[in-house]
Structure formats: C-alpha cells, structure tokens
Amino acid sequence: MPLRIVVATGSSVPIYRQVVEQVRLAAATGRAKAGDALPSVRTLAEELVVNPNTIAKAYGELVREGIAEAQPGRGVFIAAKRSVYSRAERARRVEGALEEFIHEAVCLGMPEEEIRALFEKRLSRADFKQGEDKP
Amino acid sequence: MPLRIVVATGSSVPIYRQVVEQVRLAAATGRAKAGDALPSVRTLAEELVVNPNTIAKAYGELVREGIAEAQPGRGVFIAAKRSVYSRAERARRVEGALEEFIHEAVCLGMPEEEIRALFEKRLSRADFKQGEDKP
Amino acid sequence: MPLRIVVATGSSVPIYRQVVEQVRLAAATGRAKAGDALPSVRTLAEELVVNPNTIAKAYGELVREGIAEAQPGRGVFIAAKRSVYSRAERARRVEGALEEFIHEAVCLGMPEEEIRALFEKRLSRADFKQGEDKP
Amino acid sequence: MPLRIVVATGSSVPIYRQVVEQVRLAAATGRAKAGDALPSVRTLAEELVVNPNTIAKAYGELVREGIAEAQPGRGVFIAAKRSVYSRAERARRVEGALEEFIHEAVCLGMPEEEIRALFEKRLSRADFKQGEDKP
DNA sequence: GTGGTCTAGACCACG
DNA sequence: GTGGTCTAGACCACC
C-alpha cells in the first residue's frame, strides 16, 4: 500500500501544502518508512483530480526538505531518516504557528490558565507515533 | 485620546490584520471602551502612511465581527460589549490556531516535552493586560 | 541598488537555481543585507526574459529556506539573519557536491596530493565576505 | 573474468552514470586493461535487471570519451590507454565539480576551516587503488 | 502594483 | 512509464 493521500479541495490551505504535510507527517510518525514509494506524480494528480504540476510542486518541496528523494525515471521515495531537524530548526519552523495561537487567545481575552488547559488537552490527543491525521 | 494604533510595515503579517487585531485586543482588554471612537479612515491612513483602502478593509472586518459599529457620517465606534465571549466561544475561535501549531510541531518530529517547553516559554512572555502586539 | 541578478540561459543549470544561488550567495557574503528588497517577480522576469513563474519558483524556494521573506502586496525582502544553518545541516547540503568532486578526481586517477593541491588553490580564491560570483 | 559491475538501484545517481563511472574507474586504476572486454549490453542488462537501453547509453558514453571502443559484431572493449591523462587534463576535468562544491559551501555560509575539515574527512575515505564506488 | 496558487501543455532526461 | 523544467495565462489576496 503506497501511502494514501487525500486532500480537501475546498480548503483554504493550498493543495500542494496539504500533500506536503501529509507526507511529512507520515514520515515523522513512522507510518511511511524510508524507501517507501510515493504515488507517482501523474497517478496522484489523476486520483486527486488536480494538475500534475501541483503534485510535482509538493514533491519538489519534500525533496528539498530532505524528506523524500526523487529518482528520475523511477519515482519518488521516502528518504533515509537524516536525523530529521535540529532542535533550533524545528523551533524556528513552528514559531509562527505558536505566535498566532497565543496572540489569538490573548486577543480574545482568554486567561492564562484557560489557554494552558486548552493546549494540554489538545497535546494529550496528539499521536507521536502513528496517526495525527485530523479525523 | 482616540486609541493609538501602530503597525510594523516590515512584518510579514498584512497591515489590515495588524489593525484588526490591535483594535480587537484593545476592546478585549478594556483599553478601548464601548462607544470610544476609532480614528477616521483617512486620518489613520495618513498617520500610518498606508493606503486608505487598507484601513477601510480593517474597519469593515471589525464591524462584521461586531467589535465596532459604523455610524455613517459620524465615524466608527467600539461596539457595546457583547458580553465578551463565552468560554466555549473563545475556545472555538482559537481552535484552528492551536490545531495548526500542534500539527506542525508533530509533523516536524518535535517530542512532547519540547512542544510544551516552547509553549510555556512563549506564554510567559504574553501580556494579558495591555499589549501582546508584536513589537 | 536592489541587487543585480544575471543568468546564463544557455547553461544546463536551471534558471531558477541560478537565481536562488545568486541571492543565497549575496545574503551569505553580506552583499545583500537583511531588509534589502529583491527585484519584483514580474520585473526580474522581464529583465531576464523568462517566465514570471520561473522567478516565482526561485523566490518561493528562498522564502522556504528562510533566506527571504515575502510580504504579499509589497515585495520580497532579504530576511533577518536567522543564525543561517546549523553545522550539520550545512554539511548535509554540500555532501553531494563533495562526493561528486572526490569521485571524479579519483576516477581520473588523480593522486591524493594533487587533489589536495587543487582544492587548496581554489579555496584560497574563495571570498568569504563579498564576492564569489563566478567571473 | 570480464569486469564486475554493480549498481545501486536505490541511489539517486542515474544507473547509466554508475556504469560509466565504474568502468572509467576500473580503466583509470588498472583494474581493467586495454583490450579487456566489457560484458555485452544484453548480458549486463539482464544481470543488473535494468533496461538494455540504459546499458547501451552508458557504453555509448564510454566510447565517446575514448575509454572504450566498440567493435561492431564483436563487443565493446577497453581502449588502448591514451597515455592516461596529463596533469592539466585531469585538473580541467574535475574543475567543474570543485567549483560547484566550493560555491555551494560558501553560499551556505560555511567557514573556510569547516570546508577543509569536510574535504579532508572525505578524502581520507577515498580509495586510490581499487574501489571508490559507493557501496 | 505586489506575491501565491493553480491549470494546461510542452520538452527533456532517465528507465 | 518516471520526474524536472519551463512557458502561458488565469484568479486571488494584499497594498
């Protein structure tokens, strides 16, 4: 089973980003293992009824990030785990989302304990091994 | 004093959103009270050296959110407090941002404790009384 | 002077890569400073007589790498230096080129001392502060 | 024994290039001598489980480089040693790869000593007698 | 005006 | 068949 990818075409988050994040997640949680093949650009494009370029853009990003490797003429594969990201690099990348969350909450007048409670509740639901797909 | 608004043109967050959030925050924290006047679109546009359309768009959003009320020919005013937000209403509104943050972090392979540390660090910097605007 | 970019359309290295590397280099050597504006996508596309998408692709990569920041409606700017890359990340990224060089040299029967001499000669010509453009 | 050739289908370097480089190396190091036969296109293709076109392309390149000679109807053979390469000729051939490596490193902000350390580490792993093929 | 996303379709290298 | 690059042109959000 070559990794199932689904997208919500109605969403405001770009299709190519949805693809990138699903693969990134699958690789991070171990659902996709090093060497696993991704669906071919054209195949996935047909399946999702989007333009092949959109998929190519997503795969290109995964390759540049080192999460996948492209073997021209053969396909795209999950790369050997390369110690993932450094702590600082990870922090930098989620910084924006954290900022947005705290800012929103404070703007709405949410008290500190309520923010923390919400955060802990969600964190406890997070799956660090297998899933994390929004149900 | 008709509510001081500042924007960072260097920031990557859209100017109109900066304006919206500052007013929203001021209303949420009590810095701006019901009935207080917002600066006129043209005045504020000149002061911030931005396009009047940008301010108009921000004010429009505030009106749609029920935070401000436009009184044609007179100006825009902070709306009567809609009983603030209920706990559930607040939770609903920040849910998306929380989701995004946790999702991003997990995708990048960040372990639970690291996510919590980042969150607490940022939370400790938050100002629950007066500011929260990115300096 | 908003950073001069030139490309060799005849080269086998993709145009968008040429653009990425020139900007990356300029940022690394200090020739382009944080906050400096890049030429607009459309402007540069006209100047280089290439499709705007090609430039957009290059800029997008720079943004994802954290070298530049896009401010929709305003333009693309060199980002504040974010501690650049970690040592390990840098090593990972040049690994391929190093491998290629050593492999080529060994294949051609070049003795160790000759490889080292060639390397040191080229390294001594490298400019770590201002230039590095292939003359 | 007609020269053993192995390829790593998992590698990101094209198969035909792996073949070219192995033969080139074998010729450079003396492992393959002038007049030695290369495996036939079809034999090798079957052995490596790759498309015959791929092997034909590799052999074609070797012939163009003067490393091998095709004798129609008989097969492909290692060419008479063209007095190996002169020092200058060797230098010219690896120049591009060296340039690429140094350029990349400098672009990424890698300091001189770090570049040298990386280079020396890799050089110490190089095998100047028999292998150099990526295992 | 700016950048961001997507579609459609082309050509090339690789297998 | 595979992915990689480029062109052309569209629509959107933002200023």
Say which CATH number the domain at B28 has: 1.10.10.10
Do A25 and A60 lie in a common domain? yes
Report pLDDT for A133. 45
Domain count, chain D: 2
| Domain range for B96 | 87-125
Q: What is d(CA B41, CA B57) in angstroms, rounded to the nearest whole number?
A: 10
Q: pLDDT of D12-31, one tens digit each?
A: 788 998 899 888 888 877 78
Report pLDDT for C47. 93
Q: What is d(CA C17, CA C22) in angstroms, rounded to the nearest whole number?
A: 8
Task: Report strand pairing: A75-78 vs A68-71.
Answer: antiparallel
Do A40 and A61 lie in a common domain? yes
Residue D9 lies in a domain: no
**Within 7 Å: CB of C33 and strand E?**
no
Confidence label for D67 from pLDDT (cuts 50, 70 and 90)? confident
How many angstroms away from the CA of C97 is the closest CA of chain A?
Answer: 15
Which chains form contacts with chain C, at 3 or more CB pairs under 8 Å?
A, B, D
Residue A43 lies in a domain: yes
User: Cα angle vertex B10, ends B6, B15, to 5°?
Assistant: 50
Tokens standing for residue C69 = 């920041």
Burial B17-35 (b: 16+ CB within 10 A, else e): ebbbbbbbbbbbbebbeee
Residue B131 lies in a domain: no
Report pLDDT for C65. 87
Chain C residues in contact with chain D using a Cβ-Cβ cutoff of 8 Å: 21, 24-25, 28-29, 84-85, 87, 90-91, 93-94, 97-112, 114-116, 118-119, 122-123, 126-128, 132, 134
DSSP 8-class letter at D77: E
Q: What is d(CA C85, CA A86) in angstroms, rounded to the nearest whole number?
A: 10
Residue B1 lies in a domain: no
Are the C-beta atoms of C63 and D78 separated by less than 8 Å?
Answer: no
Minimum-distance residue to F7 (CA–C1'): C51
Burial C64-74 (b: 16+ CB within 10 A, else e): ebbbbbbbeee
Question: Packing angle between helix B112-125 and helix B87-107, nearest 10 degrees?
Answer: 130
**Phi, psi values for residue D75, rounded to 5°:** 140, -170
Q: Which helix H or strand E contains A9, and what residues bound it?
A: none
Residue C4 lies in a domain: no
Q: What is d(CA A36, CA A78) in angstroms, rounded to the nearest whole number?
A: 5
Do D24 and D50 lie in a common domain? yes
**Tens-of-pLDDT digits for all 135 residues of chain A?**
568 899 988 888 899 999 999 999 898 888 898 889 999 999 999 999 999 999 999 999 999 988 999 988 889 999 987 656 778 888 888 888 898 899 888 877 789 999 999 999 999 999 886 444 444
Report the sign of the C-alpha dihedral through residues C36, C41, C47, C49, in that order: positive
CB contact under 8 A, A83 and C82: no
Residue B5 lies in a domain: no
Residue D114 lies in a domain: yes
Do B20 and B73 lie in a common domain? yes
